[in-house]
Amino acid sequence: MQKTDFDLSSFTPSKNKGQNFLIDHKTINDIYQTISDVDQYDAVLEIGPGTGVLTNFLIAKGKHLFCVELDKKLFSFLQKKFIKKKNFHLINGDILKINFDQLFSNFQQILVVANIPYNITSPIIIKCLKNKKIMKMYFMMQFEVAAKIYNYQINHNRNAFSNIVNYCCRIEKFFDVDRNCFFPQPQVNSSFISITKKNDIEYDFNFHKFLNVIFRFKRKKIINNYPLKNQIQNWLINHKINLNIRAEQLDYRALFKLYEDLTTEKNKNSD
């Protein structure tokens, strides 16, 4: 077990908060080696620092470190441990309710590091995609969810989430982490990945909204998921695509082209 000043034996982790603490020394060192570009960013955001096993490293390497911890007991521990560090900023709160625009008002390029609670993986990533100052993310996340993102091209079990992430980001997987490396032990294994935003593409709210519509019923044909069936049917015919195709069988490039063309046609009809 990785040594920490915090006594986990006297702490009852909260399942509702998704608390699974990384305790494996080798895995922690592997993460240190992987996130060696910390000093290239104006500030780092650590989501759920927990017992601070990564926080020491991030404080030493980063220019400014913002940590958001929901648990009050862990918040108090971290506050006492790192209070003398001038580049350390600790917030007790829910990451999904934090105003990133305010938090990063004095900075331009942000790096995010997190062992993401499994139950809020997608909302956290989407929140990060929406903020223009966040350039890159390092995430420890559930193996199955990570696989849908980084195995995007060969995984045809795609959804709205995996499409929007791959549309505006590059994904890299570094290593898998066995469930035994955490306390308490989760029911699934994890993967450590990076999500880096593409320079020329930003998160598109309307495209994401479109994806949510056409993936609403995954097993249905794409023409039966979209309100204007005739328009999408004509598009498929014009692009010589099988009318029985489902949304998960098209990659984000084809889906964005579909979205663009339908939007253009809609705007023409409204003029």
Structure confidence by residue, pLDDT tens digits, 124-155: 999 999 999 999 999 999 999 999 999 988 87
Structure confidence by residue, pLDDT tens digits, 86-105: 999 999 999 999 999 999 99
Considering the chain, tell me which residue range(s) the CATH 3.40.50.150 domain(s) occupy. Answer: 8-197
Considering the chain, tell me which residue range(s) the CATH 1.10.8.100 domain(s) occupy. Answer: 206-270
168: Cβ contacts below 8 Å, ≥ 6 apart? 129, 197, 198, 201, 202, 203, 204
Please name the residue that has the structure tokens 């960013």. Answer: 41
CB 44 within 8 A of CB 114: no
- Quick one: tokens of 75? 């918040």
- Helical residues (DSSP H) of the chain, grouped into ranges: 25-34, 55-61, 72-82, 100-103, 121-130, 143-150, 160-168, 205-214, 229-238, 252-270
Structure confidence by residue, pLDDT tens digits, 223-266: 998 888 899 999 999 999 999 999 999 999 999 999 999 999 88
- The 10 Å Cβ neighbour count of residue 65 is 25
CATH number corresponding to 8-197: 3.40.50.150
Dmax over Cα atoms in the chain, in whole Å?
Answer: 67
165: Cβ contacts below 8 Å, ≥ 6 apart? 125, 129, 149, 171, 195
Place domain 206-270 in its CATH homologous superfamily.
Answer: rRNA adenine dimethylase, C-terminal domain (1.10.8.100)
Whether the pLDDT of residue 17 is over 90: the answer is no
CB 141 within 8 A of CB 120: no
